[in-house]
Structure 1
Amino acid sequence: MEAKTKRRVRDPAATRETILEAASNLLAKDGVEGVSLSAVAHLAAVNRGTAYQHFETREKLIEATIQWVSDKLFRAVFGDPSTLGERQVERVDVAALTDRLCDFAMENPDICRVWLQQVLASPDPSQDPFWREYCGSLRRFAGTDLAEPGIDSEVLSVVNLAGVFFWPILARAHAAEDAQRTELARRFSHEILRLSMYGTMKAEAFPGVAERLRKEAAEANAR
């Protein structure tokens, strides 16, 4: 008796993830104008009917892709969203958080820029989970005794994220080796920390960051 051919088990969640990853690649490469359900289905190696089952329109696909990128950003920088309530802004390791943000941007420069442009152009950026937490954490920090007075958390969020996400262009990150990208990310995180330390943060409250900045500045001068 011939063995029966096993039917491939469908996994809707995995298919959706594959479609979103393909859409994010197209967004990064060609921008919003380059995204269509047909192009994404082709890149994801699924038929158009399957793509339409998950996303009825191009607009819904783009919206879901931006949310998908936001979730990856969130997890890379802040960790598991389910533990968000446990975070106390006064106890956050500012240097480590900045490093994680710069590392993610250096490894995913194109999609980060698309995400930022789409979120800032949206009617309500606070609907995006990463933006809401990033801007919100700066606002909460501004309300503590650790911060200098008069911080505009919304403006500061745009300044920080725009800088982090556009730095890889000038740094030619796409042509750099892994070790070079790491060094480029450290350069940017150093400058963000230096500006924060002597602009928005009370230096005496962060001796560890101050020591790191002194060491990094000495190393840079020695090179």
Structure 2
Amino acid sequence: MEAKTRRRTRDPVATRAVILDAAANLLAKDGPEGVSLSAVAHLAAVNRGTAYQHFETREKLIEATIQWVSDKLFHAVFGDPETVGERQVEEVDVVSLTERLADFAMENPDICRVWLQQVLASPDPSQDPFWREYCGSLGRFAGTDLAEPGIDFEVYSVMNLAGVFFWPILARAHAADEAERRELSRRYSREILRLSMYGTMRAKAFPKVADLLAAHGVSPGG
């Protein structure tokens, strides 16, 4: 019986994912300036024409890559975006959420930093799914009785995300093994939780600072 040669079935979805993964690696390594369709196609081991079929321009490729990273962040931290809308702020497991964010950042620090820079520099950061949910959830929390008064949730969002994405540099996470990285992640999440719960300064020891904050509606925690 004569053997038949089968043509390999093309999978556009898989090809797109491979291209985006390659683009994310280049973004993490060299920033947006180091990304080109030809370089990404070479790294992804696809024809340059194939890359152009999926992304007509370098700008569209970078935009799609940032969106791709945002989706990964969203799933890692919040879960399925189809069900996240059902979540009530009062029902959030704060410890688990903080640890999931720290774990993802510990494993993907470079691309997370690029993502944050690109999103914050965009005309409307709220268009990014992860930023919208992360900052928005802190805003919803700030409006409940669970929160201390006067929280600037947008500033807090930037401070926490910048911290969690830069901590792996100081911690030398690239030289750590899996168990060490997990402990480094836990160190960060514990300190963020401690700061959120207790802060760092005793109001009685810094009356001028307490007066300044009180003038802006921020009172010491009870």
Please, what TM-score do these two structures have when normalized by structure 1?
0.88
User: For residue 137 of structure 2, what is the aligned residue in structure 1?
Assistant: 137
User: For residue 161 of structure 2, what is the aligned residue in structure 1?
Assistant: 161
CA positional deviation for 1:2: 3.0
The equivalences for 1:183-202 within 5 A come to 183-199=183-199
The separation in 2 between residues aligned to 1:134 and 1:65, in whole angstroms, is: 19
- Deviation per residue, 1:40-67 (Å, 9 max, x gap): 0011110000000000000000000000
User: For residue 87 of structure 1, what is the aligned residue in structure 2?
Assistant: 87
User: For residue 115 of structure 1, what is the aligned residue in structure 2?
Assistant: 115
Matched, 1:75 2:59: no
- Deviation per residue, 1:140-187 (Å, 9 max, x gap): 000001000000010000000000000000001111110100000000
The separation in 2 between residues aligned to 1:31 and 1:5, in whole angstroms, is: 43
User: For residue 219 of structure 2, what is the aligned residue in structure 1?
Assistant: none
CA positional deviation for 1:84: 1.4
- Deviation per residue, 1:127-151 (Å, 9 max, x gap): 0000000000000000001000000
User: For residue 51 of structure 1, what is the aligned residue in structure 2?
Assistant: 51
CA positional deviation for 1:198: 1.8
User: For residue 16 of structure 2, what is the aligned residue in structure 1?
Assistant: 16
Q: What is the aligned-residue RMSD (CA, Å)? A: 0.7
Question: What SS class does the counterpart of residue 115 from structure 2 fall into?
Answer: helix
Paired residue total: 199
The 4+ residue runs of structure 1 with deviation greater than 6 A are none
User: For residue 27 of structure 1, what is the aligned residue in structure 2?
Assistant: 27
The separation in 1 between residues aligned to 2:177 and 2:145, in whole angstroms, is: 41
Question: What SS class does the counterpart of residue 82 from structure 1 fall into?
Answer: coil
The separation in 2 between residues aligned to 1:151 and 1:34, in whole angstroms, is: 38
The separation in 1 between residues aligned to 2:86 and 2:198, in whole angstroms, is: 28
For structure 2, the residue ranges without an aligned partner over 5 or more in a row are: 200-222
Give the residue type in structure 2 aligned to 1:170.
L
The separation in 1 between residues aligned to 2:109 and 2:124, in whole angstroms, is: 23
The separation in 1 between residues aligned to 2:120 and 2:85, in whole angstroms, is: 25
For structure 1, the residue ranges without an aligned partner over 5 or more in a row are: 200-223
The separation in 1 between residues aligned to 2:141 and 2:18, in whole angstroms, is: 37
Please, what TM-score do these two structures have when normalized by structure 2?
0.89
The separation in 2 between residues aligned to 1:85 and 1:120, in whole angstroms, is: 23
